């Protein structure tokens, strides 16, 4: 029955001298609560392992002292995960080193904590995996795996040039997610430059149409936060 949490709590009760002074109902309630916590922690561990986040980030550790245009109110709003619940998107842009990946991983970690299946991809790696899957016939399986994620994080969009076929495959990924699941994109390039990245105006329009409208935007500024860390 996998009542590991309850078994651990029962063993602790046996070793606690004054536990016998508590009523049966109170002791049972403690056992049930411990089992629930054990199950929740186990599920969270599974979701985080599945997500494969690049950084062990969390919203509570975000540094708002840096002058990079990040508003605490914006992050507090996103922390509620309603945007994930309702299949909305989020786009984080800014120069290298301002913390885009950290913020993305922190939001993804919160989604995992709130029970949502999440998947992180470094954009160039995603395109490579799609190309390999296309070549060996496993693309349907990969697309199915990605579609099952309630939140998909695509980090460093535009860092490497993709092929026309890869952009069309990415559009198919977005089509599977449109209006039902959420996609979080980070990029050094603002969306008004994505047309030149994609090259094909029709495909670029379709990608932007599925990502931009109604998306939450975080536009970071400033110098790299990595400077001076030594």
C-alpha of 170 from chain center: 18
d(CA 110, CA 80): 9
Burial 81-104 (b: 16+ CB within 10 A, else e): bebbeebbbbbbbbeebbbbbbbb
d(CA 102, CA 159): 17
Average confidence (pLDDT) over 57-86? 92
| Residues whose CB is less than 8 angstroms from the CB of residue 106 and which lie 6 or more positions away in sequence, other chains included | 57, 58, 59, 61, 62
pLDDT of amino acid 87: 95
If you count DSSP H runs as helices and E runs as strands, how many of each does the chain have, helices first?
Answer: 10, 5
Is 20's pLDDT higher than 90? Answer: no
Confidence label for 213 from pLDDT (cuts 50, 70 and 90): confident
Is 229's pLDDT higher than 60? Answer: no
Average confidence (pLDDT) over 139-158? 95
pLDDT of amino acid 22: 66
Is 1's pLDDT higher than 60? Answer: no
More confident residue, 218 or 200: 218
Average confidence (pLDDT) over 59-66? 89
Strand segments (E) across the chain: 90-93, 118-122, 151-157, 182-187, 216-219
Percentage of residues of the chain with pLDDT beyond 90: 60
The predicted-structure confidence for 164-181, as pLDDT tens digits, reads as follows 889 999 999 999 988 899
Take residue 158 and report the two structure tokens written for it: 């535009």
Handedness of CA 186, 192, 198, 204 (dihedral sign): positive
Domains of the chain: 4-14+23-50 (no CATH), 52-219 (3.40.50.300)
d(CA 93, CA 135): 32
Is 12's pLDDT higher than 50? Answer: yes
Burial 116-125 (b: 16+ CB within 10 A, else e): bbbbbbbbbe
Confidence label for 230 from pLDDT (cuts 50, 70 and 90): very low
pLDDT of amino acid 17: 57
| Residues whose CB is less than 8 angstroms from the CB of residue 177 and which lie 6 or more positions away in sequence, other chains included | 87, 146, 147, 152, 183, 210
d(CA 212, CA 228): 35
């Amino acid at each position: 029955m996998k009542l590991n949490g309850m078994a651990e709590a029962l063993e602790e009760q046996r070793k606690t001298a004054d536990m016998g002074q508590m009523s049966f109902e109170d002791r049972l309630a403690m056992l049930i609560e411990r089992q629930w916590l054990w199950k929740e922690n186990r599920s969270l561990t599974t979701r985080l392992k599945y997500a494969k986040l690049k950084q062990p980030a969390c919203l509570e550790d975000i540094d708002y002292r840096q002058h990079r245009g990040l508003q605490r109110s914006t992050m507090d709003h996103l922390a509620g995960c309603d945007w994930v619940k309702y299949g909305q998107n989020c786009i984080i842009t800014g120069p290298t080193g301002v913390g885009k990946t950290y913020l993305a991983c922190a939001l993804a970690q919160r989604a995992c904590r709130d029970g949502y299946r999440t998947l992180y991809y470094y954009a160039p790696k995603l395109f490579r995996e799609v190309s390999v899957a296309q070549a060996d016939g496993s693309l349907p399986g990969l697309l199915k795996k990605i579609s099952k994620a309630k939140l998909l994080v695509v980090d460093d969009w535009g860092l490497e040039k993709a092929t026309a076929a890869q952009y069309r495959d990415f559009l198919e990924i977005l089509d599977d997610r449109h209006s039902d699941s959420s996609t979080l994109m980070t990029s050094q390039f603002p969306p008004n430059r994505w047309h030149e990245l994609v090259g094909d105006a029709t495909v670029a329009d379709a990608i932007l149409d599925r990502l931009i409208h109604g998306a939450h935007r975080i536009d970071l500024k400033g110098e790299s936060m990595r400077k001076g860390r030594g």
